[in-house]
Amino acid sequence: MIPRLGVNIDHVATLRQQRGESYPSIARAAEAVLKAGADQITIHLREDRRHIQDADVAPVHGWCKKFNRPLNLEIGSHPEIVEIACRHKPEWVCLVPEKREERTTEGGLALEDGPTLARLVKALDQLAQKSPATKVSLFIEASAGTIAQSLKLPVHAVEIHTGDYAKDFLENKPLQKYLDLYARAHAEIKAAGRGFHAGHGLTDQSLVPLLKQGLFEEYNIGHWIVGESVFAGLEHVVAQMSKQLKERV
């Protein structure tokens, strides 16, 4: 199995929003990463609109359609944002947690929290009714309780939050506890016939142990790619990472 590479281009929009200009172009970034071999594009339309804007969704989706690649739209469960997703009908929606005060997404969905679960169920119903062809994933931790709860919901995949793993990798801390956790989660998720994806905080180096383990079918990576692109160019960085996934090293 060759894992898929989803390239998150949110932080191209972050740079644009810092000055409120029309550049750098999100549409141009979408075209570049798809030309370079990305298997899908991921964008996160946050409720606070800190990077991706409503007007970005259609042109990014347009480039995905031209390359016959899926758009993975990350959203919170706020009804207004879910309604926007329903209008655009992306191939994938990934439901994620959001907090206004966070710098970036700090963890997975709290599926064992009653109010959170209730909002998710409403969002899932809204998507099923208005965009039935859209597949849905949940951004979650790999803990046993969260995995069990995810299996009770009508979704097509989970995306495991790899932020803590990625941080410990950068700090040269032991990683085996994460690999063991991912292996157990993978067994349960695949037994249920669902997709097993990963994302958050990953770099070309922290990707290596995960590729060797060979469990994840898809990786969504953005911040490192955009950061490295300052030095090497966006298409080059995406092409190299795409090659890395194919070689699984």
Pair 34, 62: CB distance under 8 Å:
no
Which member of 11, 31, 61, 74 is catalytic?
Answer: 74
Q: Specify the 3-state DSSP secondary structure of 43.
A: strand
Angle between helix 79-88 and 54-66 (nearest 10): 30
Told to judge if 74 belongs to the known catalytic residues of this protein, a careful annotator would answer yes
Task: Render the burial of 159-187: b for 16+ CB within 10 Å, e for the rest.
Answer: bbbbbbbbebbeeeeeeeebbebbeebbe
Angle at 41 (CA atoms; ends 248, 209), nearest 5 degrees? 25
The rounded distance, in Å, linking the Cα atoms of 38 and 31 is 10
The rounded distance, in Å, linking the Cα atoms of 36 and 24 is 18
Which member of 11, 31, 44, 218 is catalytic?
Answer: 44
The rounded distance, in Å, linking the Cα atoms of 207 and 219 is 9
In this structure, how many other beta carbons lie within 10 angstroms of the beta carbon of residue 84? 15
Which member of 200, 218, 228, 235 is catalytic?
Answer: 200
Told to judge if 88 belongs to the known catalytic residues of this protein, a careful annotator would answer no
Told to judge if 61 belongs to the known catalytic residues of this protein, a careful annotator would answer no
Closest listed residue to residue 102, CA positions, set 163, 53, 58: 163
Looking at residue 216, its amino acid is: F
Positions annotated as catalytic residues are 44, 74, 200
